[in-house]
A and B are shown apart, each in its own frame.
Chain A
Amino acid sequence: MEMSRYRNLFLAETREHLHTMNQLVDGLEREPERDETINALFREAHSIKGMAAAMQFTQTAAVAHHLEHYLGEIRSCSRVPPDVRGRLLDGIDLLEGLLDDIVSGRPERNVEKFLQKTATCSGQSGQDMAIVTNVDCTAQNSASQEPADSILSSASAGDHSEEFQVIIDLVNAPKSANPGLKILQRLEEMGEILSSEAVVDSIRQGGEPRQVKLWLRSGIAPDKLKSKLLTIEGIGRVGFAQDRRKKPGDDQIATVRVSTDRLDNLLSIVGELLTNHYLLQTAAESENWTEIPAQLILMDRLVENLRHEVIQARMVPFQTITGRLPKAIRDISRKSGKNVTLNLIGEDLGVDRVVLEQLGDSLLHLVRNAVDHGIVSQGTLTIEARREKEQILIEVSDDGRGMSPEQIKKTAIAQGLLAANQAGKLSDREALMLICQPGFSTAQGVTETSGRGVGMDVVKSSVERLGGTLAVSSALDRGTRVQMSVPLSTAIVKVLLVACARQRLAIPITRVVRTFALPSAMINRREEPHVFVHEGRTVPLYSLAELLSLARTENTKKALIVLAEVQGGLVGLQVDSLIGQREVFVKPLHFPLDKLPGLSGVTVEGAGIIFVLEPQSLVENRLMLADKAGWKPESSTF
């Protein structure tokens, strides 16, 4: 049987089982439900074992079998060992780590020590149980020599090692120097060499490659790795490539389950569209022009229905990414010695799977920040998802110590992110947003779980890449709330099409407040950027052509303005012409296009290509360049 066809299905279903197990482990503390909880956990472990064994993921099957047996023992001896939760959670962690190995294409990690370490309530060791099973655990053991301690730690929330490709160019070294072997030894001292057996074997057998490319997992910074490698004789150059491989979790929601009712609806709409197409064709052939407008209206409705159904089919429940949070919070709380109550609201809300994929890490980072820096010794962390029109709002709030805008300003000045004279002009809301500046940190020190890794700047970038916005509000001693507002769907987006320097561009309609023609005399061009007054508010005006380095628009008697919402404020974007609203299928940008500020995607229309803009990062990029150039707009909205 060709197993690779079923790999994604296996990964999706196993993650669902692990998600359920994580939730069930919480229920172990509730006495009346304990027996049923243990039975349910047993069934979940049994399902994972069966699927893993069928897929020949032997280590995964062995751990699942171990957990199943462990739960069976508890059930039969009707005595719950004191550390059952911890042991089950360690096992679930390990299974999640094994799934990550499978996603990354690595050999499954060695689980022998976990099996030995975890004894059952009857005192039987896990290793004994592994022998009882038909699952062959020995085949993969030689492929990975990772000790159990590192297995468990790598699955924990505090693991910060990264994977990257190391590229080492060898120069003509004397044979006695044997740089290849020395490179391997040095790399093995500094991390774990991943999935490059052919290269490793070739070097070990005396090969003399001119270049060595290896994947390495290490917690050591690349520049330190480089300096250590360069001490080996025969190395000419050392380079690193970012890990652009599939990451663990990428496959987490690569599949969605669609109900047969929905599929029937889709089929029914497609059927109606075929009829509609036939009637339009007939009307055109027989020149029955009066029939066409009615059929076009019908087609419009059918296409809208189709869009709705397809978007719904892409939706997965919000709990797909919140499922791991209770355990993550338990881990962080345990490490920081805090007592945190988690309050999840809106877990059943359907969210576009792409949105969830993008926001998973950000949500975890916000949670870590809240527990680590917000909540003092005990408190409540609330995560809420709700729908507002075409947007999904995700809020992470805590009732902890909160943040002081004044203190943030001082920190930003001390960290060289803000000039003292600029700080005085910032409102409290603007000051709070400084935490999203790259390099900003209020942490007194780096803890195991936060204060490093992805920062608020990365969270903000992730939200903006989706065409969303991030807002922060906080009050001292009352808590902090971070609100992420993202589009309902990232694939099909309503946009306003505009033209600038003979190029068509799209602005997500969720960012457009209104459009209008503004008499040029109303624009104050003495300020930089130019400003105009709209409903009593002074609004900065940017030429879209200028923001995008396109040919600048000639001044005319009236300027066409797109009033856009940027970080809760307003900006005017001057364009050459307004084409109209449209629904477009947006494709993500790939490297290196994804490095360009202000572009969130692209849509292919006929023979042409239309870029979808992200006004917020466009304007921020302009402000950043202005800062670098030594001037700060007097009338920035943020």
Chain B
Amino acid sequence: MTWVLLFQLDDLTYGIKVESVQEIVEKPEQYPLPGAKGCLRSVINFHGEVLAVINLPKLCRCKASHLDPRLIVLTDEFHSLAVQVNSVGSVVEIDIDRVASPGPGSGPPVLGTCQHDDEGDIHLFDMGSVIRQLEKLDLGVDGG
């Protein structure tokens, strides 16, 4: 069994392993990032570290544009990022052995999908894929 933090992108529920979640920050002050475009527009001061804020709905080309004022700070061995989502949910336990492979689709990257008694379908979010997407993105100044 694995604990995951739920969040919403469009009308779908996604989960990310709690080990990857460093903190959920309540309405932090966001500072505009000069020269950025697309899904990366601002930064936050997270305990003295300046972290990029990634607009996940925009990066994943979601339709819903409203954003939860809370940010999820995700961290792995190499990266720390603050992500914006449509809505931050609760933490639930899922049976990782019952996660089915993801079907083909062009939506947000997922590792698989599982059925939860209360939450319905939970799509396990693939943060690694997002990082790889960011590594390939041209985030530079677009010349105004």
- A603-615 near B? 1/0 per residue, CB < 8 Å: 0100111010100
Binds B, one of A135-143, A155-163, A544-552: A544-552
Asked whether, in the complex, the Cβ of B31 is within 8 Å of the Cβ of A609, the reply is: yes
Interface size on B, residues (CB 8 A): 39
Quote the shortest CB–CB distance from B133 to chain A (angstroms). Answer: 10
Binds B, one of A112-120, A238-246, A384-392, A562-570: A238-246
Inter-chain residue pair count (beta carbon < 8 A)? 119
Asked whether, in the complex, the Cβ of A609 is within 8 Å of the Cβ of B131, the reply is: no
B 20-55 contacts with A by CB, 8 A? 29, 31-37, 40, 43, 45, 48-52, 54
Asked whether, in the complex, the Cβ of A549 is within 8 Å of the Cβ of B31, the reply is: no
Asked whether, in the complex, the Cβ of B34 is within 8 Å of the Cβ of A503, the reply is: yes
Binds B, one of A350-358, A531-539, A594-602: A594-602
Interface size on A, residues (CB 8 A): 48
Residues in A neighbouring B143, C-beta threshold 8 A: 546, 549, 622, 625-626, 629
Question: Is A274 among interface residues, defined by CB-CB distance under 8 A?
Answer: no
Question: Is B87 among interface residues, defined by CB-CB distance under 8 A?
Answer: no
Question: Is B89 among interface residues, defined by CB-CB distance under 8 A?
Answer: no
Given contacts A549-B37, A604-B50, contact A590 B141 (CB under 8 A): no
Given contacts A210-B99, A609-B45, contact A552 B31 (CB under 8 A): no
Task: State which of B48, B78, B112 has its C-beta within 8 Å of the C-beta of A604.
Answer: B48
Quote the shortest CB–CB distance from B19 to chain A (angstroms). Answer: 14
Bound state CA distance, A105 and B39, in angstroms?
Answer: 34
Quote the shortest CB–CB distance from A232 to chain B (angstroms). Answer: 16
Task: State which of A211, A549, A552 has its C-beta within 8 Å of the C-beta of B34.
Answer: A549
A244, A505, A613 interface centre (most CB from chain B within 10 Å):
A244
Residues in B neighbouring A591, C-beta threshold 8 A: 52, 78-79, 134-135
Question: Is A284 among interface residues, defined by CB-CB distance under 8 A?
Answer: no
Residues in B neighbouring A245, C-beta threshold 8 A: 77-78
Quote the shortest CB–CB distance from A105 to chain B (angstroms). Answer: 11
Given contacts A244-B79, A245-B77, A609-B50, contact A598 B35 (CB under 8 A): yes
Given contacts A546-B144, A592-B52, A604-B48, contact A239 B132 (CB under 8 A): yes
Residues in A neighbouring B128, C-beta threshold 8 A: 167, 213, 239, 241
Quote the shortest CB–CB distance from B68 to chain A (angstroms). Answer: 21
B 104-135 contacts with A by CB, 8 A? 111-112, 128-129, 131-132, 134-135
Quote the shortest CB–CB distance from B126 to chain A (angstroms). Answer: 9
Q: Specify the chain A residue showing the minimal Cβ separation from B112.
A: A210
Q: Specify the chain A residue showing the minimal Cβ separation from B36.
A: A596
Asked whether, in the complex, the Cβ of B78 is within 8 Å of the Cβ of A589, the reply is: no
Asked whether, in the complex, the Cβ of A596 is within 8 Å of the Cβ of B101, the reply is: no
Question: Is B139 among interface residues, defined by CB-CB distance under 8 A?
Answer: yes
Question: Is A313 among interface residues, defined by CB-CB distance under 8 A?
Answer: no
Given contacts A210-B99, A549-B37, contact A592 B139 (CB under 8 A): yes
Quote the shortest CB–CB distance from B56 to chain A (angstroms). Answer: 13
Residues in B neighbouring A240, C-beta threshold 8 A: 132
Chain A contact residues: helix, strand, loop or mixed: mixed
Question: Is A177 among interface residues, defined by CB-CB distance under 8 A?
Answer: no
Residues in B neighbouring A577, C-beta threshold 8 A: none
Quote the shortest CB–CB distance from A597 to chain B (angstroms). Answer: 5
Quote the shortest CB–CB distance from B95 to chain A (angstroms). Answer: 14
Q: Specify the chain B residue showing the minimal Cβ separation from A548.
A: B34
Bound state CA distance, A550 and B142, in angstroms?
Answer: 11
Bound state CA distance, A549 and B43, in angstroms?
Answer: 16
Bound state CA distance, A548 and B34, in angstroms?
Answer: 5
Asked whether, in the complex, the Cβ of B132 is within 8 Å of the Cβ of A596, the reply is: no
Residues in A neighbouring B132, C-beta threshold 8 A: 167, 239-241
Bound state CA distance, A239 and B141, in angstroms?
Answer: 27
Question: Is A121 among interface residues, defined by CB-CB distance under 8 A?
Answer: no
Asked whether, in the complex, the Cβ of B140 is within 8 Å of the Cβ of A552, the reply is: no
Given contacts A503-B34, A546-B144, A550-B34, contact A602 B50 (CB under 8 A): yes
Quote the shortest CB–CB distance from A233 to chain B (angstroms). Answer: 15
Residues in B neighbouring A213, C-beta threshold 8 A: 128
Question: Is B13 among interface residues, defined by CB-CB distance under 8 A?
Answer: no
Bound state CA distance, A609 and B30, in angstroms?
Answer: 10
Task: State which of B31, B101, B112 has its C-beta within 8 Å of the C-beta of A608.
Answer: B31
Bound state CA distance, A602 and B46, in angstroms?
Answer: 13
Asked whether, in the complex, the Cβ of A548 is within 8 Å of the Cβ of B35, the reply is: yes
Asked whether, in the complex, the Cβ of A244 is within 8 Å of the Cβ of B78, the reply is: yes
Residues in B neighbouring A549, C-beta threshold 8 A: 34-37, 141-144
Task: State which of A171, A593, A595 has its C-beta within 8 Å of the C-beta of B43.
Answer: A593
Q: Which residues of B contact A (CB under 8 A)?
A: 29, 31-37, 40, 43, 45, 48-52, 54, 77-81, 99, 101, 111-112, 128-129, 131-132, 134-135, 137, 139-144
Those 8 A-B pairs whose CB atoms lie nearest each other, nearest first: A244-B78, A548-B34, A548-B35, A625-B143, A609-B31, A597-B140, A592-B134, A602-B50
| CB<8 Å pairs between A and B, sample of 23 | A167-B132, A210-B99, A240-B132, A241-B131, A241-B135, A505-B34, A548-B141, A549-B142, A587-B49, A592-B137, A592-B139, A593-B50, A595-B139, A596-B35, A597-B35, A598-B141, A599-B34, A599-B35, A602-B50, A604-B45, A607-B45, A626-B143, A629-B143
